[in-house]
Amino acid sequence: MTLTTPRTTALRAAALLATAVLTLTACGSGNPAGGSGAAGPAATEAKIPTTDVVSSVKKDPAAAELLPADIRARGSLSLATSVGTPPGATYLADGKTLAGQDIDFANAVGKVLGLRIDREVASFEAILPALGSGKYDLGTGNFGVTDERRRTIDFVTYINDGQGFAVRKDSPLKKVTSLKQLCGLTVATGAGTTFEATLEENQHLCKEAGKKPYDVKTYAEQGALWISLQQGRTDVVMSTINGLRYAVKQQPGLRFLNEFKRLDVGFAFKKGTPLAPAVRAAVGRLIKDGTYDRILKKWGTGASAIKTSRISPQEIH
């Protein structure tokens, strides 16, 4: 007889999340329809909602009138999306169909503007540079609006998320209000994210306090990140508030610590894009007609609601 311990169950849950993320890695930056189909167990375990909240959205002529002439003539938007774990973006059980808050918002914006969404999956760290080169019209990936990013990227905000922490249930950490509390620990986070930047920029705090610096471990796949925490190779995870809350519900033995910093999140564009006003108008329409609230309710992220979409607002401090 095989004994199943809480730790074994937790590692199994983390491995299921890893399966979904590793599947998207195999797809690279190609068409999502080229998925391997191996995400079934993870997607089923995660009980990903599939309620249709987009198909009833109607075109808004006033918003569509704001589109640049070339995009209106083309009839489509080229969109790069980073796929990781719910509620942002993930694969359903078939390993091909994309689902998530980012997916629903982009599809709804396309319908308001009367445009087809030509979506391509790309790695998180590759999307912003690709926007600058003109490869895509816009990108999604829970991109936090920071002052540093605003120097080279334009944003149209659609939710408010931010930075937070999660640990194993046996961790002595109760709440992180200063990064100095992480001194001497190993922190896991996503590669190329605002979390990595925040951690690296503040490592000096430990030295100045006469403490051992924290060690930052970055992961391209969220599943590998969670396994590192479950196996004790890292002590704490820093990631998105919504993503952390979702992940700890799927994995026994973990707990969400606290929100650390709020950030606006937006569709990302090449700096100076003429497309931003139309997309902002589309998000505004979704807020007005109730689609916006339905999307948030579907993904359990009502606390991330914004009242008004804005173009490249200053970073929340």
Which pLDDT score, from 0 to 100, does residue 192 have?
A: 84
Structure tokens at 98: 């994309």
Q: What is the pLDDT of residues 54-64, one digit of tens each?
A: 999 999 999 99
Share of the chain above pLDDT 70, in %: 85
Confidence tier at 34 by pLDDT (50, 70, 90): very low
Span 66-88, average pLDDT? 95
Q: How many residues would you count in the chain?
A: 317
The number of beta carbons lying within 10 Å of the beta carbon of residue 173 is 17
Confidence tier at 298 by pLDDT (50, 70, 90): very high
With the CA atoms of 62, 67, 71 and 74 taken in that order, what torsion angle do they form, in degrees rounded to the nearest 10? 10
Please name the helix (run of DSSP H) or strand (run of DSSP E) that holds residue 135, with its range, or none.
Answer: none
